[in-house]
Amino acid sequence: MTLLKKTEILPLERERRVTILAGPYGSGKTEIAINRAYAAGRAGRAAIVDLDIVNPYFRSRELREEFERKGIQVAAPRGHLAQADLPALTGDMERLLADPEVRIVVDVGGDPAGARLLGSYAPSLEKVGYALFLVVNPNRPFVSTPEEIETALGEIEGASKLRATAVLSNPHLIQLTTPQVVEEGHQIVLAGAARLGLPLGGLFFVPEFLGSWVPDCGDVPAVPMDRFMLPPWFEDIRRFAPYRDRRSLMEGAPPENKGE
């Protein structure tokens, strides 16, 4: 088993300057995009491009201030357009693609409408070189079988005018994730990747859901992730209750007793 550190670049990312994460709603692509952006930032100059115009929640642009504090550029609509479901993006994408020193992570919307915006940059991306990863959580609708995974990728490739490089396995049920959920889901993703004739670029998992258990997926890199996209009501609760950790919060555990 190859266990990558959270801050390491994936093997399939090393020879390409642009990493593109695409996948249907609930796949976890934005969480992975955020983690990949932080890894890119550790390797040098980095930027994250938010092209998600489909889902108004859990967008990477929500962490703009935190990214910028770490020196990671953010390309996404600002001001009154920040929460709009519109294909609104400044010339930041082309500017970043023109700078050979910047490693770029792109978070793409989860359906053909989102991928279509990516397609407007296809000629530039082909010139620069990219890795397009299909992120799959087989516990979500429309990607629960190898056949559905193939259909989902066909729609994304058709709309984006780009070809996928690999599949990323991200089987989870948020706080209900167990080792069995990961292992069984990963087998579905493996079968989907085989059907597509694509390599599996990594198995992603959130340690806070799984304790000390680490997936063993053979030659496929296992990649731990931090979790950033908590629902806003979790953060509201945390302001008033000093919970031990995020998992305790999600499972409804009592707040920590400061007198212990």
Mean pLDDT by 10 residues, the chain (260 residues): 88 93 90 93 92 57 79 74 48 91 90 83 95 97 96 94 97 94 97 98 95 91 88 51 43 43
What percentage of the chain carries pLDDT values higher than 90? 60
Residues contacting 122, CB < 8 A, separation 6+? 160, 161, 162
Superfamily of segment(s) 2-229: P-loop containing nucleotide triphosphate hydrolases (3.40.50.300)
Residues contacting 60, CB < 8 A, separation 6+? 30, 33, 34, 37, 48, 50, 52, 74, 76, 107
Domain boundaries, the chain: 2-229, 232-260
Cα–Cα distance measured from residue 96 to residue 19, given in angstroms and rounded to the nearest whole number: 13
Residue-averaged pLDDT of the chain: 83
Cα–Cα distance measured from residue 89 to residue 63, given in angstroms and rounded to the nearest whole number: 17
Taking the CB of residue 226, how many other CB atoms lie within 10 A of it? 13
Is residue 136 within 8 Å of 27, Cβ to Cβ? yes
